[in-house]
């Protein structure tokens, strides 16, 4: 087993204990020692780089989240050897105002992440323990608190975050958000499948997003039943062992098997476009059923099909604050944001546009133009505008 070589970031008032000597867990399940060492060295460079940017008086800790932080990172086998596949998501915990810290250090941390992204995408994001302690339960915070690796810091710093340790407390709209993001991937894949241009990167993108959607469908069902878990392997076991109310539960288990397999041992898809198109349509159809089942359950309203969901003016984000939504709309869209549904969060428009673009054939719906706040005429143009809004509000 490889020992981490992360150096200590000493802070006299509140000493930060690094991974060295305390966190020897693997980043992957079956990755080679060479891959484990590569990931360890990236963590070392992150620790050194952050220490050169952030004063010790500000730095509380650095956490590696995501698959590698949970010990379930992807192992991509290539002719040159094993390589990391997933992003490495680091959270830099700073004292003081998160907004001021973002303004002061955010740009330099993103520049550091860009310089370290050689062979694997590195992300550095600013967070604070005060924010973690006062935030409501969510899937993101649950995953972060329950499955992580200390690059700098120690478990005692998570005192006061116990409310993030209960999967049953993850609200239902978090499952909706998960499906929104993964079904957005299916939408972007559909756009590629319908374009004239096609290459190996296109195959890889489509195959990857199909696998992510397969995993998310079962994860959303588990979340709806309060049975989510931070480990994808444990989620897979629970999905198989439990009798859950959900459409196509047998198919969902098979999908989840494939999704977990891809997550742990990803491969670059090289399937022909027509085969990928068939797989995409199969997953897309089941995703529609799960999405409508979940939204009917969450909003206590039956939706007969995706078009009915997209055309319904029911509040799709009742968990948001109406007054704050006014400010969000005004900031995002200016005067246009104050014309319609000003009390609704912009994510409502994304959910409705997704249901129409992905699952409703044709581009004849005038509502899509209103939802996307654009006069686009072609499907690629609509998807591009959707992607712009999705990135902003997902």
- Select from 164, 188, 210 the last residue of a domain: 164
Residues 101, 216, single domain; the answer is no
Q: Inter-axis angle of helices 98-116 and 33-53, to 10 degrees?
A: 140
224: CATH: 1.20.120
Residues 114, 176, single domain; the answer is no
Residues 182, 288, single domain; the answer is yes
Amino acid 341: pLDDT: 78
Query: Which residues, including other chains, have CB under 8 Å from residue 293's CB and lie 6 or more apart?
Result: 246, 247
Residues 186, 308, single domain; the answer is no
Amino acid 9: pLDDT: 30
Q: How far apart are CA 262 and CA 240, in angstroms?
A: 18
- Select from 302, 335, 360 the last residue of a domain: 302
pLDDT along the chain (394 residues), means of 10: 30 33 72 95 97 96 96 93 94 94 96 94 96 96 97 95 97 98 98 92 94 97 96 95 81 96 91 92 96 97 94 94 90 71 90 94 73 80 92 90
pTM: 0.89
């Amino acid at each position: 087993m490889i020992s981490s070589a992360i150096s200590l970031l000493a802070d006299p008032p509140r000493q930060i204990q690094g991974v060295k000597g305390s966190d020897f867990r693997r980043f992957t399940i079956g990755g080679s020692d060479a891959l484990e060492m590569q990931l360890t060295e990236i963590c070392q460079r992150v620790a050194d780089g952050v220490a050169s940017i952030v004063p010790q008086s500000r730095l509380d800790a650095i956490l590696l989240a995501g698959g590698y932080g949970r010990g379930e990172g992807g192992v991509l086998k290539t002719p040159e050897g094993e390589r990391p596949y997933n992003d490495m998501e680091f959270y830099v915990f700073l004292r003081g105002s998160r907004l001021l810290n973002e303004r002061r250090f955010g740009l330099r941390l993103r520049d550091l992440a860009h310089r370290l992204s050689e062979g694997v995408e590195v992300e550095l994001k600013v967070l604070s323990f005060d924010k973690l302690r006062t935030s409501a339960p969510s899937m993101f915070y649950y995953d972060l608190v329950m499955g992580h690796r200390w690059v700098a810091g120690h478990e005692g710093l998570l005192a006061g975050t116990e409310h993030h340790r209960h999967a049953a407390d993850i609200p239902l709209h978090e499952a909706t958000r998960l499906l929104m993001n993964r079904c957005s991937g299916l939408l972007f894949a559909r756009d590629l499948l319908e374009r004239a241009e096609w290459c190996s990167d296109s195959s890889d993108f489509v195959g990857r997003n199909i696998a992510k959607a397969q995993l998310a469908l079962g994860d959303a069902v588990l979340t709806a039943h309060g049975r989510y878990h931070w480990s994808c392997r444990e989620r897979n076991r629970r999905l198989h062992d439990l009798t859950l109310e959900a459409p196509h539960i047998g198919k969902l288990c098979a999908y989840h098997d494939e999704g977990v397999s891809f997550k742990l041992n990803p491969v670059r898809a090289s399937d022909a476009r027509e085969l990928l198109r068939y797989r995409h349509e199969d997953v897309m159809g089941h995703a529609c059923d799960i999405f409508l089942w979940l939204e009917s359950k969450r909003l206590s309203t039956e939706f007969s099909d995706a078009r009915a969901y997209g055309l319904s003016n029911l509040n799709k984000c009742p968990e948001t604050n109406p007054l704050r939504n006014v400010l969000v709309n005004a900031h995002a869209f200016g005067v246009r944001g104050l014309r319609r549904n000003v009390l609704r969060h912009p994510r409502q428009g994304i959910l409705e546009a997704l249901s129409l673009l992905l699952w409703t054939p044709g581009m004849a719906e005038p509502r899509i133009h209103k939802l996307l706040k654009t006069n686009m005429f072609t499907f690629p143009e609509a998807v591009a505008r959707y992607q712009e809004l999705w990135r902003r509000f997902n």
